[in-house]
Amino acid sequence: EPEVTQTPSHQVTQMGQEVILRCVPISNHLYFYWYRQILGQKVEFLVSFYNNEISEKSEIFDDQFSVERPDGSNFTLKIRSTKLEDSAMYFCASRKGWETQYFGPGTRLLVL
Amino acid sequence: SQQGEEDPQALSIQEGENATMNCSYKTSINNLQWYRQNSGRGLVHLILIRSNEREKHSGRLRVTLDTSKKSSSLLITASRAADTASYFCATDLDRETSGSRLTFGEGTQLTVNP
């Protein structure tokens, strides 16, 4: 069964460094998402992406964040200058039509 | 309170018992989805119920939706120790934008004791 994959599974970085989180959505899906989950908290929406552009973003998704679909398969989330409070699990999700979003296994980001 | 709130926050039962988790929300929805998360792991989609549906079954899972009360419940029958996980409801709001973000609740931590 096709699934969303994410790399790396874990990333440790120093405050102020740039990180790129990578996702490979399910191949025939059209809608792509990033969410995050700070430890012990609920899952929060960051951004949605459709037709090669951002369709919606939350207040969390400020100028330090960007997304890109550089080719036909990858979907990336870049954090330009990481802060301590960016430490979280980051989930990528994709959706074909209007319904089920399928999530990847997540990237655990730790900012020191 | 926020869109998508589950109760109870934590539930501990014995293997073989049924587990019921509830979710309430505030605005009109397109659909409501239940996800499961094992500790520190990814989100596994369990079941989706559309706003025009009242009940849905999948194996040992039964989901109900009451749009008049803006609430949903997830029932796991004949629970097993392997069902131990956090369960989240997520609402897909009724809107015309293509983004269609999911709004998650706080989750219910279910522990099934062998």
**A89 vs B contacts (CB less than 8 Å):** 40
Average pLDDT over every residue of A20-26: 96
Identify any residues that bridge with A8 across adjacent strands, giving them in sequence order.
none
Q: Which residues of B touch A48 (CB under 8 A)?
A: 98-101
Give the pLDDT band of residue B93 (cuts 50, 70, 90): confident
Amino acid at B17: E
Residue given tokens 């870049």 in the structure block: A78
Q: Domains of chain A: which residue ranges?
A: 5-96
| A5-96 maps to CATH 3.40.50.720 | no
Q: What percent of chain A has pLDDT over 90?
A: 79
Q: Which residues of A touch B (CB under 8 A)?
A: 31, 33, 35, 42-45, 48, 50-51, 55-56, 58, 89, 91, 93, 95, 98-106, 108
- Partnered with residue A110 across adjacent β-strands are A12
What average pLDDT does range B38-59 have in this prediction?
Answer: 92
Nearest by CB: A55 against B30, B45, B97: B97
Please give the C-alpha separations between residue B62 and each of A56, B34, B49, B72, B112, in angstroms, as whole numbers.
32, 11, 10, 10, 18
Q: Domain residues of chain B, as ranges? A: 24-79
Predicted confidence at residue B96, as pLDDT, reads 60
Please state which CATH number belongs to domain B24-79.
2.60.40.10
pLDDT tier, B72 (very low <50, low <70, confident <90, very high otherwise): very high
Other beta carbons within 10 Å of A99: 13
3-state secondary structure of A79: strand
DSSP H or E stretch at residue A98:
none
- Torsion sign, CA atoms B36, B37, B43, B44: negative
Segment B94-100 shows an average pLDDT of 61
Residue B97 structure tokens? 């934008």
Chain A CB within 8 Å of residue B92 CB = yes
Q: Parallel, antiparallel, or unpaired for β B102-104 and A65-68?
A: unpaired
In the numeric block, which tokens belong to residue B84?
Answer: 């131990």
| pLDDT tens-digit series, residues A63-83 | 999 999 988 789 999 999 999
Contact B51, B94 (CB under 8 A): yes
**Alpha helix positions (H), chain B:** none
- Minimal Cα–Cα distance from B26 to chain A, Å? 17
Residue B59 pLDDT > 60? yes
